[in-house]
Chain A
Amino acid sequence: MTGPVQVIVLGFDEPSFTGEVMAELTRLREAGVVRVVDVLLVSRDEDGTFETLPAPPGTDPDLGRIAADVVGNGDPDGSPADDSWSLADVVAPGSVAAVALVEHLWAQPLVEAIRDAGGRPLAEAWLSPEDRNGLPEQSG
């Protein structure tokens, strides 16, 4: 594991795992941009409990095992620390979500360069689509 790994949680009305998304992620992987470490499907019952869902047909039956180890195996009686989060904070009861671990291969050299320059992170966020629309095209 070399690059920063992002946890992306996506909500669905029903379990979904489209081939289009995987095809695009495969293309990015081949381009050395990102690597999908694992994808896990979970459901949350109305009582708040989580259950993992089986891997979609045609995929590796072990799909989701790594992600389940990362985001699961928690302490049911534990209280969150100041700088922590969990699936319980973002997945509403009675819904289904996909949890993707995505390694940003492109970012590792950048992170090392920032560290070598003595930089320290103060904030990170994604621009909203509205703010992105305000950017000049082909900037940079």
Chain B
Amino acid sequence: MRHAEAVARLVPKQLQMTGMTGSVPYYGGRLSPAQAYAASHPAAPPPPMAAPPPRSPTPPPPRRDPVAALDELLESGVITEAEHQELRDRLAT
């Protein structure tokens, strides 16, 4: 039912329940509307305890330039000139 002469929208405000002589803690032996609402809308369970933040992993050591490493191996005699060249060719591909 809509009344053509309605003048403004009204959003009901929650008013505190109280008696003439002060705040009466008991609502006529029944659940108050707010209590009934709360009973039919149980609060969501509290979220589980948050897991501790993951430990920041140790940053990997900076990657060494493979060409420089090959040069070092060649100079130290670990690999031959041919092996050095072969490995450099692999890096290039």
Q: Which of B28-65 contact A (CB under 8 A)?
A: 28, 32-35, 37-38, 41
A6 near B: Cβ within 8 Å? yes
Contact between A84 and B1, CB atoms less than 8 A apart: no
B77 near A: Cβ within 8 Å? no
| Total contacting residues, chain B, CB less than 8 A | 33
Interface of B is mostly: loop
The 8 A CB mask of B13-38 against A (1 = contact, 0 = none) is: 11111111111111010001111011
Interface-side segment among A22-30, A45-53, A131-139: A45-53
Q: A82-B34, A84-B34 are in contact. Are A124 and B24 (CB under 8 A)?
A: yes
* A51 CA / B5 CA spacing, docked (Å): 10
* A80 CA / B34 CA spacing, docked (Å): 5
| Total contacting residues, chain A, CB less than 8 A | 50
B3 near A: Cβ within 8 Å? yes
Contact between B17 and A85, CB atoms less than 8 A apart: yes
Task: Tell me, rounded to whole Å, the shortest Cβ–Cβ distance linking B14 to chain A.
Answer: 4
A51 CB contact (under 8 Å) in B6, B19, B22, B35: B6
